[in-house]
């Protein structure tokens, strides 16, 4: 059995104690899981202390793998170590070390001692692949840790907060909650099923105007992200009603409920969308521009107006006009990955329509920014500062994946297959500026498209 060593060291602008705490909190595994190859936690006990165990499902390409790890050493603020109990390696010992450089900086080192099965043939064949994979994964992990710590250190004197979130299981919520929890915040979740009180769940039924919110609970902030998916299925009359009701009824219920609390939250962030502006061609719009003329524009207008009760109660309220969120785990990018990976991707129609995109990390980063900046209220565009045309997006994605992109999906095909939904979402051109985020000096992690795609797809 041949032993191999892999190491990754990075300097982080935070004390070792703070970085260690970040790793010890719930949500750290999720934050460190690469989005192009995410893991699923089956069970977890004991955090990172000695004797703690975690069982996970992950993939090596298309092959599913079960991984059982046990923590075998723990020295607070210095190191913790886990070993593979069951998994694909003959041996795996992972040591996480933390070393202060001064009061504001530390070194994070991940050291892995591993051995591959079926030595020597397995080692000869697999070691180059494994080394490349480890470099890819730990580059992502360290970059994420550096950026998350920077965000949390910036606001460390303003927290921790008690935060109530709806839409916890969606693409945004499932990324936002681990980010907030690793930052030391307490997160409660609104759910429609019987709640698990140990997980901080609170039951609600927005369709029937009911929410089990105890007025004695201390809630500092509410983040409302739930709503019917607009990008699936034809917009029939029934579908349109569900799209409107799921947004208006739920938002109004939360706004009216928190406005009547004896101790209301300080801030209410409610999702909206850049569909508010409608199809604007190549005109650059910001938060001062008027509502568009499309169905989805009208939905966004009603959605945002549903926060009125919170505004009237003096709760700082912001409507988050979210752009095209990029994540390989869902949304537009998730749908495009397979055809582009197969080399059959291409532009849609003329490709001249603008796509106002934002990476998943900047989406949760901007939400975190809006939580704490008291100057932010009203509409807030959550988009990158560099919108691109569909043609540009196509070329960048193909370049990052090292695939051709020769095809064109004709306009009539989109209209035939998707109807009104296709015209207003896929063919519509909305070129949006992040005015409020720029004015309040939000620092984008991924301001340019290619950099965002490389980070999200592990192509750095």
pLDDT tens across 141-165, in order?
999 999 999 999 999 888 799 999 9
pLDDT tens across 133-143, in order?
999 999 999 99
Q: What is the mean pLDDT of residues 306-311?
A: 97
Q: What is the mean pLDDT of residues 90-96?
A: 96
Q: Where in the chain is the domain with CATH 3.40.50.720?
A: 202-457
pTM for the model: 0.94
Q: Sheet with 79-86: list strands edge to edge.
A: 4-12, 106-115, 91-100, 79-86, 63-75, 53-60, 40-45
Tell me the CATH class for 4-154: alpha beta
Average pLDDT value for the chain: 93
Q: What is the mean pLDDT of residues 218-227?
A: 93
pLDDT above 70: residue 38: yes
Q: Where in the chain is the domain with CATH 3.30.530.20?
A: 4-154
Instruction: Determine which of 28-32, 228-232, 276-280 has the lowest per-residue pLDDT on average.
Output: 228-232
Tell me the CATH class for 202-457: alpha beta
pLDDT above 80: residue 217: no
pLDDT above 90: residue 92: yes
pLDDT above 60: residue 216: no
pLDDT tens across 62-89, in order?
778 899 999 999 999 999 999 999 998 9
Q: What is the mean pLDDT of residues 302-310?
A: 97
Residue of 438, 271, 275, 452 lying closest to 369 (CA atoms)? 438
């Amino acid at each position: 059995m041949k032993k191999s060593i892999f190491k990754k060291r990075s300097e982080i602008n935070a004390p070792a104690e703070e970085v260690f705490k970040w790793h010890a909190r719930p949500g750290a595994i999720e934050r460190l899981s690469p989005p192009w190859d995410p893991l699923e936690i089956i069970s977890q006990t004991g955090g990172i202390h000695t004797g703690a165990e975690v069982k996970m499902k992950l993939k090596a390409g298309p092959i599913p793998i079960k991984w059982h790890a046990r923590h075998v050493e723990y020295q607070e603020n210095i190191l913790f170590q886990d070993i593979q109990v069951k998994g694909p390696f003959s041996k795996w010992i992972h040591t996480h070390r933390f070393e202060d450089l001064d009061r504001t900086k530390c070194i994070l080192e991940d050291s892995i001692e591993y051995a591959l099965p079926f030595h020597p043939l397995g080692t000869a064949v697999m070691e180059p692949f494994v080394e490349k994979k480890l470099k890819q994964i730990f580059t992502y992990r360290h970059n994420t840790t550096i950026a998350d710590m920077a965000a949390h250190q910036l606001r460390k004197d303003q927290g921790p907060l008690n935060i109530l979130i709806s839409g916890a299981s969606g693409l945004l919520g499932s990324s936002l909650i681990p980010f907030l929890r690793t930052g030391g915040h307490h997160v409660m979740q609104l759910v429609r099923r019987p709640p698990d009180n140990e997980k901080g769940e609170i039951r609600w039924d927005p369709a029937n105007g009911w929410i089990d919110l105890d007025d004695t609970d201390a809630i500092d902030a509410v983040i409302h992200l739930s709503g019917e998916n607009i990008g699936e299925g034809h917009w029939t009359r029934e579908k349109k009603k569900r799209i409107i009701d799921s947004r208006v009824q739920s938002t109004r219920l939360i706004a009216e409920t928190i406005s009547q609390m004896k101790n209301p939250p300080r801030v209410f962030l409610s999702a909206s969308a850049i569909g508010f502006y409608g199809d604007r061609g190549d005109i650059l719009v910001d938060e001062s521009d008027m509502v568009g003329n499309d169905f989805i524009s009208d939905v966004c207008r009603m959605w945002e107006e549903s926060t009125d009760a919170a505004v009237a109660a003096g709760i700082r309220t912001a409507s988050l006009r979210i752009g095209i969120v990029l994540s390989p785990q869902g949304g537009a990018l998730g749908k495009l990955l397979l055809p582009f990976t197969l080399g059959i991707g291409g532009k849609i129609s003329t490709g001249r329509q603008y796509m106002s995109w934002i990476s998943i990390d900047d989406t949760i980063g901007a939400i975190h920014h809006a939580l704490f900046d008291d100057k932010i209220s009203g509409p807030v565009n959550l988009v990158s500062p560099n919108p691109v045309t569909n043609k540009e997006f196509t070329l960048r994605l193909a370049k990052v994946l090292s695939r051709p992109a020769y095809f064109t999906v004709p306009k009539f095909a989109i209209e035939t297959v998707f109807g009104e939904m296709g015209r207003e979402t896929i063919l519509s051109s909305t070129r949006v500026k992040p005015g409020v985020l720029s004015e309040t000096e939000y620092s984008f992690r991924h301001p340019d498209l290619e950099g965002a795609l490389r980070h999200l797809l592990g192509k750095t």
